[in-house]
Structure 1
Amino acid sequence: MIEVLVISISNPLLIGVYKNKELIKEYKLEGKTSDLLPTLFKELLKNYNIGKINYVNSPGSYMAIKVAYVFLKTICISKDIELNACNGFEFNENSPIKALGKKYFINENNKIKVDFLEKDSIIRDFKLPTCIKKINFSKETLPIYNLPAV
């Protein structure tokens, strides 16, 4: 089965195509999620028989998460494709993720908090895994908002 993984919570936008859970094609695209997803998915849907789409629904750029969710949910409904979601910490070695201003999302014991970084904190880039067998995907696909209301 062909699956697509979308990591839209930071730049570059990362999209991986997986066959039997193994990465076969990788895309790294600079720009806005709203501009990039339609063009790329037009190509992907033409070239692959996609059975499942997975995306990162938290934490990170809320606009990118919302745009990705609405776009991917629409594709999945119209093409009868399964949609799943997961946490962004799965793809950056549990490193802090940029939040707002100088604050970051930090995963401590599976609780996400928003705080300033410690002086010795290491920020890792997001990476598409070569295999997605062990990724904790969920059928709960709505975006998760971790910041308090303004």
Structure 2
Amino acid sequence: MTEVLVISISNPLLLGVYEDKKLIKELEIEGMTSDVLPVTFEKIIKEYEINRISYVNTPGSYMAIKVAYVFLKTLAITKNIEFRACSGFEFNENSPIKALGKKYFINSNEGIKVDFLDKDTKIADFKLPKQLENIIFSEETLPIYNLPAV
């Protein structure tokens, strides 16, 4: 089974191609999600027969999440590809994720909260996992917005 994982909530956009849950191709693409995702998938679709697409649907850049969702969901429907989602915290060692201004999304036992960071807080970069074995995916693929309406 060939799967593609898309992490669009940071720059560079990360895209991994997995064969039988093992990473076989890793791409780091600079640019806006709306510009680079269609071009990148055009190449990936020519090279691989994709059975499943997964993407990060929370938390992070709302625009990147929305663009990724609309593009990937459309692709999944038109090509009859399984589609699922997961949290960005799966790919950055559960470290805080940039929210608005100087605030960050923080994953705690009480759920995701938005707050300022202590000056000593370390922030890990996003990384594609070498295997998809222990990643928690969901069939609920709609973007999840963690900020209250303004």
Residue in structure 2 matched with residue 42 of structure 1 by the alignment: 42
TM-score of the superposed pair, with normalisation by structure 2: 0.99
**Secondary structure of the residue that 1:70 maps to in structure 2?**
helix
The aligned residue for residue 126 of structure 1 is 126
Deviations along 1:16-49, one digit per CA (max 9) or x if unpaired, are: 0000000000000110000001001001111100
| CA deviation string 1:77-97 (max 9, x = no partner) | 000000000000000000000
How many Å separate the matches in 2 of 1:126 and 1:27?
Answer: 13
Residue 57 of structure 1 corresponds to: 57
Q: How far did 1:120 drift? A: 1.3
Deviations 1:67-86 (A, max 9, x none): 00000000000000000000
Within 2, Cα distance between the matches of 1:12 and 1:109? Answer: 29
Report which stretch shifted further, 102-111 or 52-61.
Answer: 102-111
Deviation at 1:110, TM superposition (A): 5.8
Q: For 2:110 and 2:92, how far apart are their aligned partners in 1?
A: 15
CA distance in 2, matches of 1:38, 1:97: 25
- What is the deviation of 1:109? 1.3
1:35 & 1:13 partners in 2: Cα distance?
11
Query: Which consecutive residues of structure 1, in runs of 5 or more, have no partner in the other structure?
Result: none
Count residues in correspondence. Answer: 150
Q: C-alpha distance in 1, partners of 2:38/2:107?
A: 31
2:85 aligns with 85
How many angstroms does 1:123 deviate by?
0.5
1:9 aligns with 2:17: no
Q: Which amino acid is 1:85 matched to?
A: A
Deviation larger for 105-114 or 73-82: 105-114
Which region of structure 1 is more displaced relative to structure 2, 39-48 or 110-119? 110-119
Question: Secondary structure of 1:129's partner?
Answer: coil
Question: Amino acid of the residue matched to residue 130 of structure 1?
Answer: K
Query: Which residue of 1 is the match for residue 97 of structure 2?
Result: 97
TM-score, normalised with respect to structure 1:
0.99
Distance 1:144 1:119 in 2: 28
Structure 2 unaligned runs (5+)? none
